[in-house]
Chain A
Amino acid sequence: MPNTGAEHIVTAYSEELLSLAQSIAEMGGLVEVAVENGTRALIKLDRELADVTIIADQRIDDMQRRIDEMAVSMIARRQPMASDLRAIITAIHVAGDLERIGDMAKQLARRSLKIEGINLQPTFYNGVKNMTALVLRQVKDALDAYGNRDAAAAIEVCNHDDEVDAMHTSLFRELLTYMMEDPRNITTCTHLLFCAKNLERVGDHATNIAERAYYLATGKQLTPEVQELQRQQIKI
């Protein structure tokens, strides 16, 4: 993923950087599928899919270890500089965030195994589905911003995190209502509260990835001040 259009004199170095970027993209794909499966297992109470999701998380963990090892090896052997150094350091961070998203998906699957049948309003399930769709879009957009080194797209992702938070608050209120209506719902609704929180955390990790993408593209940290400045420019 050369950003200056120039190739490394040592071709193996270019190949290693490319392989690192490909590994992140591959890990991103696995994580997206995991979140999707975790939510589906929860909504449909599909035990088989839940088991598959839990087992698949091991592969995501393995990939994170592999990316860490590749990065450490490149730092030791190649003494990376400038955008190469940023690419390697951000790969370590992004792999960490992706691994955490994988854990969130695993949590969704695990909790689905604990939930007995419960009749909630269809609006609730729609809310969970919509929130999942939104956080998955956030993860995908963040990974695209990372892959394309697109600072503007990275800021967009960060700005959309408020929507995820709003959805989480809405689900939280809805679940409280169910619990107040019938105390027998409390156990299940508590599990579902944690699930909503897990999805909200996925959104936070997507924001982290976007912040890394911004740093990779510009060499500067994406601070709240930069985000605010960008918002004001859009308003103007």
Chain B
Amino acid sequence: MDLLANKTKPPVTKPLNAPLDPLDMLEPNIRLTARDVTVHYGAKQALHGISIDIPDRAVTAFIGPSGCGKSTFLRCINRMNDTIEGAKVGGRIELDGQDIYAPDLDVVELRARVGMVFQKPNPFPKSIYDNVAYGPRIHGLARSKADLDEIVVSSLRKAGLFEEVKDRLNEPGTGLSGGQQQRLCIARAIAVGPEVILMDEPCSALDPIATAIIEELIDELRTNYTIVIVTHSMQQAARVSQKTAFFHLGNLIEQGDTEEIFTNPVNKQTQDYIMGRIG
């Protein structure tokens, strides 16, 4: 029987001269997987079963009106909601196949792997050097002062800040401009060698020039990191991301390639939101 069955099956391997399927080449690796993620704040349900795959080495943007749950979901990815009293997270989120809500998981280590940059730049009241060196120190990533120096310099370089601050590494981080402070926070997140960087409206407190610099930086960082960005600016989502997910009232309404979402979205709610219409 088996022999007969095999005879009728088409060959599994493609002939060498078969045309390459572009989808095969473009299919990205999935870094983060969320399935049926729910969040309750006390009795109030903030997220209603979010399922999404987030690709590696790409920028995924979460868009949606205020209170739609995009930041709540972002905070689930590095378990920031654990710190909120009464918050209860359901469903499953996996980073590289590993359940990040597993009881034996080290949350501090998770947050080193999944860094976060906030809306308002929040450098520590320490020197520029110490801001970046803080994470590597507590995680024991540097064996010597020279090691630490190297991590600080390379992180500042990756964040596009080194040239501007190299002569004043011992001055307070809080003395920098808003855009520089945000890049310092990005350098601080990069310093502990994360795989994923979460950004919660990283440019909303910045002027257009500082915003453009951060966007340029995000574009550079995506070659090495998985980036998830929450933004209220649809133009920003369209500019920096490759994938976009639209949230509304705690639901994930539509997700897909950014170009498709902004030129030809399928869902009417998505269309109305991105075009600035009232349904």
Give the B-binding residues of A (Cβ under 8 A). Answer: 2, 4-10, 13, 79-86, 218-220
Do B279 and A4 have beta carbons less than 8 Å apart?
yes
> What chain B residues lie within 8 Å of A4 (beta carbons)?
268, 271-272, 275, 277, 279
User: Which residues in window 236-279 of B have CB below 8 A to A?
Assistant: 238, 262-265, 268, 271-272, 274-279
Find the B residue at minimum CB distance from A79.
Answer: B235
- Chain B CB within 10 Å, residue with most, of A4, A5, A79: A4
Find the B residue at minimum CB distance from A2.
Answer: B277
Total interface residues on B, using CB and 8 Å?
16
Known A-B contacts: A8-B278, A86-B264. Give 13 more (CB < 8 A). Answer: A2-B277, A4-B277, A5-B279, A6-B279, A7-B277, A10-B276, A81-B238, A81-B275, A82-B262, A82-B274, A83-B271, A86-B263, A219-B263
Do A84 and B275 have beta carbons less than 8 Å apart?
yes
Find the A residue at minimum CB distance from B238.
Answer: A81
Do B276 and A13 have beta carbons less than 8 Å apart?
yes
CA distance A50 to B101 in the complex (A): 80
Do B276 and A9 have beta carbons less than 8 Å apart?
yes
Q: Interface SS of chain B: helix, strand, loop or mixed?
A: helix
B51 CB to closest chain A CB (Å) equals 24
Do B264 and A6 have beta carbons less than 8 Å apart?
no
Task: Report, nearest first, the 8 A-B pairs whose CB atoms are least far apart.
Answer: A219-B264, A6-B277, A81-B274, A6-B279, A6-B272, A84-B275, A81-B275, A8-B277
CA distance A147 to B10 in the complex (A): 48
B234 within 8 A of A: yes
CA distance A167 to B147 in the complex (A): 81
Known: A81-B234, A83-B271. A8 touches B276 (CB 8 A): yes
